[in-house]
Structure 1
Amino acid sequence: MQQVKPQTQLVILQHPSEVEHKKNSVKVLSLVIPDTQVYVGETEADFALLSKQLMNCGRPVYLVYPSERSVSVEQQTIGADCILLLIDGTWRKAFKILQLNPWLTQLPAVHLPEGYESRYKIRKSSRSDSLSTLEASAYMLKALDEGLDVSPLLAAFDAMVAIRLQAMPTEVRLRYD
């Protein structure tokens, strides 16, 4: 598996229910980008040390989360030497983490522009703009550094999806085609 070494530091706040999930894209993300930092938790206490570290790290930190206050990554100039903070979980769980951690609302929030289609065939979402954490990371990294080759990330992700589809009974697999 080819690794990717971006200038951008990825920090993932992962909901505890995602850790052992078989469809966990963060595991694949961490294999391709080994410098990815993953913090498991939900409450402000779970992330207390991390929030202090981020506030004092000397690098710009951006929350990747689409909201009314977030700005498209393409509408501003963000250097690749920054930290992207992503929340890993279902929309409901990610929103809960956001609500339980007011320090996150102090960070500038960014989102991807419309038009990205998820390759995550094995998980369903009620939102049309849903991407896996790996996909969102890959597209954000590419937006910050056009010269960065994110194809190893997407290839590893596609391989994981294919393996999970193959492991499903035929009648279940048909629901995902």
Structure 2
Amino acid sequence: MSTSLELIVLQDPGEVKHAKNSVKLMKAVLDSLRVEVGETPSDFASLKAYLDSVDKPIYLLYPSEHSQSITQQRVASDAVLLLLDGTWRKAYKLLQLNPWLQQYPALHLELDAPSHYTIRKAKRDDSLSTLEAAALAIKAVSPNADVSPLNDALAALVEQRLNAMPVAVRARYGQND
């Protein structure tokens, strides 16, 4: 799948080898996804240099008291969208360790349904996988975009993981036979 929106994922190192990592699926589906793994500004120095040279709008997809809804903001279809990949705690840590990210306008998603990423527990109701956030963002910026390849890949991963679980474990994820 291709999109004119330039997606860049800043990924916490602990997520790279995680079996339920949705960014692996994103890499398989999106032809131009860029993933930068790290924690500190020095880890992201080449990314920052690249972003400093870009002549198009750059946004950070991260909900906060200062973020604006991606549907209300007029985001150009060729803008750069930065996504933080990790648990909420890890994503917040990435943001705190990299204050340069706060120079970009922050956007949040308007959620009308819960996450379909049921194989990973989340304490917040607005938790999404990075893949789901990317799909919703692409759709918000380009309403005619077909994001079904992303959604289908996630659904297949969830089904595969659930089918591999013992029945008792599957029940903890709200899945019954």
Normalising by structure 2, report the TM-score.
0.96
Correspondence 1:22-171 to 2 at 5 A: 22-171=19-168
Q: Once the 2 structures are TM-superposed, how far is the Cα of residue 159 of structure 1 from its aligned partner?
A: 0.2
Provide structure 2 residue ranges, at least 5 long, that are not aligned to the other structure. none
Distance in 2 between residues matched to 1:146 and 1:114, nearest whole Å: 15
SS at match of 1:74: coil
Distance 1:65 1:148 in 2: 22
* Deviating more after overlay: 16-25 vs 162-171: 162-171
SS in structure 1 opposite 2:41?
coil
Identity of aligned residues (%): 53
TM-score scaled by length of structure 1:
0.96
Q: Can you give the 5+ residue segments of structure 1 that lack an aligned partner in the other structure?
A: none
The 2-side partners of 1:152 and 1:48 are apart by 32
Q: RCO (CA 8 Å, sep 6+): is it higher in 1 or 2? A: 1
Query: Any idea what the Cα deviations from partners look like across 1:110-168, whole Å, max 9, x if unmatched?
Result: 01013231001101111110000000000000000011100111011100111111111
Are the counterparts in 2 of residues 64 and 85 from structure 1 also a CA contact under 8 Å? Answer: yes
Judge which range, 88-97 or 70-79, deviates more.
70-79
CA contact (8 A) 1:116 1:129 kept: no
Report the residue type matching 1:35 in the other structure: S
2 CA distance for matches of 1:149 and 1:132?
18
Distance apart, 1:21 and its partner CA: 0.4
